[in-house]
Amino acid sequence: MDKEKILQLLRSSKTGFTSGAVLATRLGISRTMVWKHIKELEREGFGIEAMPSRGYRITLVPDTLRQNELGQGLKTKSIGKEIRLFPEVVSTNTLAMEAAVQGAPEGTVIIAETQTGGKGRLGRTWISPRGNLYFSVVLRPQIPTHKAPLITLVGAVAVASAIRTYCSIPATIKWPNDIFISGKKVAGLLTEMSAEPDRIRHIALGIGVDVNMELQELPPDVRMHATTLAHEAGRAIDRKPLLQQILRDLEHWYRIFLTSEGEVLKEWEKLNMTIGCRVTISNAGEVFEGLAQGIDHEGRLLVTLDDHTTRIVAAGDVTIVKR
């Protein structure tokens, strides 16, 4: 697309300005067409300075994701090979499940700037204002159905690692798949699956990361327990490279998982903040307290109660009582 090429040329200009004549020649279009594309870019939020003798120069880049840029320099084999960006959806997970039914290849990423019906764990809503990352990855692992919950752990390892690498912030994992920084939640993962009794058809691994939104955009009860990467880093975070780092780490850990899932569990244990803590578990109206001892080979939490019996917890909310 000519507009995207103009943007690319302006962004890569070493001298700052690029003349309308150069842009027109490089693209094989008229200078009037160049001007029209510049106006369109301004409408999309770019600040573009025009100087009659020198040409055009970018002065402001809006914080919007651009479809054709998301894959640039990603260098993954399958995760993110195909990326579909939407300005607004109900839920990227729902869209990813639909895309999978229609044959989307493994690794397809569905991403949106905002969601009107974002889904959280245990039937909750995931409030999705602009400025964050909301995306779902189509996966088709050849593993037994009962191992599907491990995919969320793979995702959690990837997200925590990517935040550590790209933002230099020590993100940790709270069982099963909440990403925490300084005791507050910054990201969550939700896996949905279509399966037969002995075979997974496809999975949508949904990831929501609170990146640049204002915390005021969340209702007070959610805000109390939440943070954003921008808040923790003290600066706005560029979402494209962060997304790409997550996708690279996801590919890395997903490949390891397919051959040796124990490696992923070990990494999850290294990054987690739950094991060794006294915890309260609440699930479906039942609440109990105990010591989180570890996770089993299916990623379930092992909790030893005060009467020395051990409970194997497959789902629920964990509150850390004491470290």
Q: Which residues bind ligand BTN (CB under 6 A)?
A: 91-93, 115, 118-121, 124, 126, 134-136, 178, 188-190, 206-208
Q: Name which of 45 and 117 has its Cβ closer to ligand BTN.
A: 117
Q: Which two tokens stand for residue 281?
A: 């578990």
Q: Is the peptide bond before 141 cis (omega within 30 degrees of 0)?
A: no
The residue nearest ligand BTN at its CB is 188
Q: How far is the CB of 303 from ligand BTN (least distance, A)?
A: 20
CA distance to 114, 179, 276, per residue, from 136 (Å): 13, 16, 31
Asked if 95 and 89 touch (Cβ cutoff 8 Å), the reply is: yes
- How far does Cα 26 stand from its chain's mean position? 36
Q: Which two tokens stand for residue 42?
A: 């301004």
Q: How far is the CB of 115 from ligand BTN (least distance, A)?
A: 6
Q: How far is the CB of 226 from ligand BTN (least distance, A)?
A: 10
The Cα 23–Cα 10 span in angstroms is: 9
3-class state of residue 322 by DSSP: strand
Question: In 10 A of CB 299, how many CB atoms?
Answer: 23
Q: Name which of 107 and 118 has its Cβ closer to ligand BTN.
A: 118
Q: How far is the CB of 92 from ligand BTN (least distance, A)?
A: 4
The Cα 227–Cα 211 span in angstroms is: 9
Q: Tokens 């990326």, residue?
A: 83
Q: Name which of 2 and 217 has its Cβ closer to ligand BTN.
A: 217
Q: Name which of 78 and 128 has its Cβ closer to ligand BTN.
A: 128
CA angle 170, 110, 45 (to 5 degrees): 80
Q: Name which of 5 and 121 has its Cβ closer to ligand BTN.
A: 121
Q: Which two tokens stand for residue 247?
A: 């996708």
Q: How far is the CB of 44 from ligand BTN (least distance, A)?
A: 24
Cα dihedral 107, 112, 115, 120 sign: positive
Q: How far is the CB of 30 from ligand BTN (least distance, A)?
A: 42
- List residues bridging with 185 in a β-sheet: 180, 226
Q: How far is the CB of 159 from ligand BTN (least distance, A)?
A: 11
Q: Name which of 23 and 89 has its Cβ closer to ligand BTN.
A: 89
Element (DSSP H or E) covering residue 242: helix 239-259
Task: List phi, psi (to 5°) of 278.
Answer: -80, 130
Q: Name which of 19 and 283 has its Cβ closer to ligand BTN.
A: 283
Q: How far is the CB of 310 from ligand BTN (least distance, A)?
A: 26
3-class state of residue 18 by DSSP: strand
Q: Name which of 2 and 317 has its Cβ closer to ligand BTN.
A: 317
Q: How far is the CB of 89 from ligand BTN (least distance, A)?
A: 8
DSSP string covering 97-133: HHHHHTTPPTT-EEEEEEESS-B-GGG-B--B-TTSE
Q: Name which of 23 and 246 has its Cβ closer to ligand BTN.
A: 246
